[in-house]
Structure 1
Amino acid sequence: MTHIHEERKAKECSTETMPGCGSRVRLPSLGYSHLDKENHRVVVMGAARVGKSSIISQFLYDKFLARYRETVEELHCGEYELQDGVALTLEILDTSGAYQFPAMRALSISTADAFILVFALDDAESWEEVRRLRDQIVQVRGGAVPVVVVGNKDDVDAASRAVPQEVAGSVATLDWECGYIECSAKHNVRIVDVFKELLVQAKVRYNLSPAVRRRRQSLPNDTRGTGGVPKSRVVKQNSCTVA
């Protein structure tokens, strides 16, 4: 498993109760635990303005990012207790949709355990970008790495849709042998299914619940040095217990 390269101070999540699930187990956020741990780095890639950051934000923080903000690179962390008592840490790397950082993209591909490739259902060119990204991943990593293709903006009307479901779905699942999910980050529809499908592709047993009450913490996000070059990744932490 891949380990986080940034130094972090361990923080504990307070004990809470989820509806119908009893008491929560105390899980340190990226600290030490008596539980066995699994660590998976998920890299989210796609063209600009397809909703990559909003999908992550809805999953971890139940929040839709209405205002567009260009992402350079942000690392989010979510911790979950699985049914077998294993503490699963998902490191979710939100990448830039621009082309200014080819070295960062190459590094992200080489260090990922799994990929989420996002396109917008009303943007045909963003689907072509997913094709290019998938080809690059296969070239670097081969065909064994888990990939889920995600068509975001399922809330658009039929007339605005530019990528037919039968086309994208069949290419992703049959030709590429990847997972495929259509979702709406705006309305928080099938967002959890994206990550469930990713764990299925990675053969990780799970029970992610959309009703999980999440607790989040953030480190300072002043990550840009001179000339806008990132001097370190933004690391946002989120810990919870999974029903």
Structure 2
Amino acid sequence: MLHSNTKSPSVGKTSLITQYIDKKFSNQYKATIGADFFTKQEVFDDRLVTMQIWDTAGQERFQSLGVAFYRGADCCVLVYDVSMTSTFKTLDSWRNEFLVQSSPRNPEKFPFIVIGNKCDLDNRAISENRARQWCQANGNLPYFECSAKENTNVELAFEHIIRVAIDEESAVSFFHKISDYFCLIRRHLAVRLLLVVFFLITHLRYIIREAFCSPVRLLLIGKCFLDVWTSDISSQN
């Protein structure tokens, strides 16, 4: 089960998802209210993968809802419109907000993917080189230029999303297995320690007697033998 989140208003997030899932595109714009939820199953590397895609609203008034959808995500997709500079400039704030709200185990290595949508438009404001420089400066993030309208690189971008999400899910699963293993070891050690303490408490008086009384007994017995032996010699003389 994989999760991804998409960002920024009116950049074509829903159109990208619809193109990927249904191979459809609509020119009618409808703002996302809160968040929309999509699922798609793919056979990837001989493995059936169920993608859960959360299409989050980009409007500022819905940002407080983010924490409910960010937690547990395996990948975050940052989408901007190549023809709108303002959407590109918000990538930093969206990325930081996601990390704060989701609290991933390893924030520095959490997988982000950047998509520059509407690359089919002639009036682009952000060059591909500028976008790639930003991605490189922010952890060498994967970057794709897509067109939901023309279905350009949409499949390629989502295939990469699946791959990095699977890697993230596997890493988290491995971390949990290691943690469970060490917890099991600690529990076994705690049980063994309790058994040792119980044994010491129940057998303490026997241990003390064996530790301190036995040598004394041997000494007394040895002295008795010595007394008897010297007495016999004296009587013979």
What TM-score, normalized by structure 1, do the two folds share?
Answer: 0.63
Query: How do 1:172-183 residues align onto structure 2 when only pairs under 5 Å count?
Result: 172-183=135-146
Kept in 2: contact 1:114–1:198 (CA 8 A): yes
Higher relative contact order (CA 8 A, sep 6+): 1
Instruction: Give the structure with the larger strand fraction.
Output: 1
- Measured after TM superposition, the shift of residue 179 of structure 1 is 1.0
CA–CA separation in structure 1 for the residues paired with 2:159 and 2:42: 13
Deviations 1:193-214 (A, max 9, x none): 111222343355xxxxxxxxxx
Kept in 2: contact 1:121–1:163 (CA 8 A): yes
Gaps of 5+ in 1: 1-38, 205-243
Aligned with 1:83 (options 45, 53, 57):
45
| Aligned partner of residue 60 in structure 2, secondary structure | coil
Aligned with 1:163 (options 120, 126, 150):
126
| Aligned partner of residue 71 in structure 2, secondary structure | helix
| Aligned partner of residue 59 in structure 2, secondary structure | coil
What TM-score, normalized by structure 2, do the two folds share?
Answer: 0.64
User: Aligned in 2, Cα 1:173/1:200: closer, same or farther, shift over 3 Å?
Assistant: farther
Instruction: Give the structure with the larger helix fraction.
Output: 2
Aligned with 1:62 (options 23, 29, 33):
23
User: Does residue 148 of the first structure (1) align with residue 113 of the second (2)?
Assistant: yes
Larger Rg: 2
Aligned with 2:32 (options 71, 79, 82):
71
CA–CA separation in structure 2 for the residues paired with 1:55 and 1:197: 14
CA–CA separation in structure 2 for the residues paired with 1:172 and 1:200: 18
Q: Equivalent residue for 2:61?
A: 100
User: Aligned in 2, Cα 1:130/1:151: closer, same or farther, shift over 3 Å?
Assistant: same
User: Does residue 197 of the first structure (1) align with residue 160 of the second (2)?
Assistant: yes
Amino acid in the other structure paired with 1:138:
L
Kept in 2: contact 1:53–1:65 (CA 8 A): no
Q: Equivalent residue for 1:114?
A: 75
Gaps of 5+ in 2: 168-237
- Measured after TM superposition, the shift of residue 173 of structure 1 is 3.2
- Measured after TM superposition, the shift of residue 103 of structure 1 is 2.5
Amino acid in the other structure paired with 1:77:
T
CA–CA separation in structure 2 for the residues paired with 1:95 and 1:137: 11
CA–CA separation in structure 2 for the residues paired with 1:111 and 1:104: 15
User: Aligned in 2, Cα 1:92/1:103: closer, same or farther, shift over 3 Å?
Assistant: same
Deviations 1:114-138 (A, max 9, x none): 1111000010000111221112233
User: Aligned in 2, Cα 1:203/1:170: closer, same or farther, shift over 3 Å?
Assistant: farther
Once the two structures are aligned, what percentage of the paired residues are identical? 25
Aligned with 2:92 (options 131, 141, 147):
131
| Aligned partner of residue 89 in structure 1, secondary structure | strand
- Measured after TM superposition, the shift of residue 176 of structure 1 is 2.6
Kept in 1: contact 2:2–2:166 (CA 8 A): no
User: Aligned in 2, Cα 1:203/1:113: closer, same or farther, shift over 3 Å?
Assistant: closer
